[in-house]
Amino acid sequence: MVARGKQAMDLCPRFHRAVELIGRRWTGAILRVLERGALRFSEVASAIPGISDRLLSERLRQLEKAGLVERRVEPGSPVRVFYELTERGRALQAPLDAIARWAERWLDR
């Protein structure tokens, strides 16, 4: 019993950090939209009604810092900036799919 309790304590901080990261307002929506592939800022913004540019920018920076999203700049005139999921970000697709199935079953429309 002690070993199980110790294991749970070891996992708790990681689980908490993960939930805090993906549970921030709009973050799940951003991750779902980026599952489509590399998108420009305006494409992400138009796919998520109600999100402000300021908040989208902030969340994209947080996701980039966490290693879930990559910001890619393509030189040219004009410069084009794309956002796409990293391998780490794509690894969240199955858990997000599970949450979507749960929501469909248990949450009212």
Per residue in 45-65, pLDDT tens? 999 999 999 999 999 999 999
- Cβ proximity of 52 and 95 under 8 Å: no
Quote the percentage of the chain above a pLDDT of 90.
Answer: 84
Query: Please, which pLDDT band fits residue 1 given cuts at 50, 70 and 90?
Result: very low
Phi and psi for 18 in degrees, rounded to 5? -65, -45
Range with lowest mean pLDDT among 5-9, 19-23, 52-56, 88-92 = 5-9
Orientation angle between helical segments 53-65 and 27-34, nearest 10 degrees: 70
Mean local confidence (pLDDT), 10-32: 91
Could you tell me the fold of the domain covering 25-106? Arc Repressor Mutant, subunit A (1.10.10)
Domain boundaries, the chain: 25-106
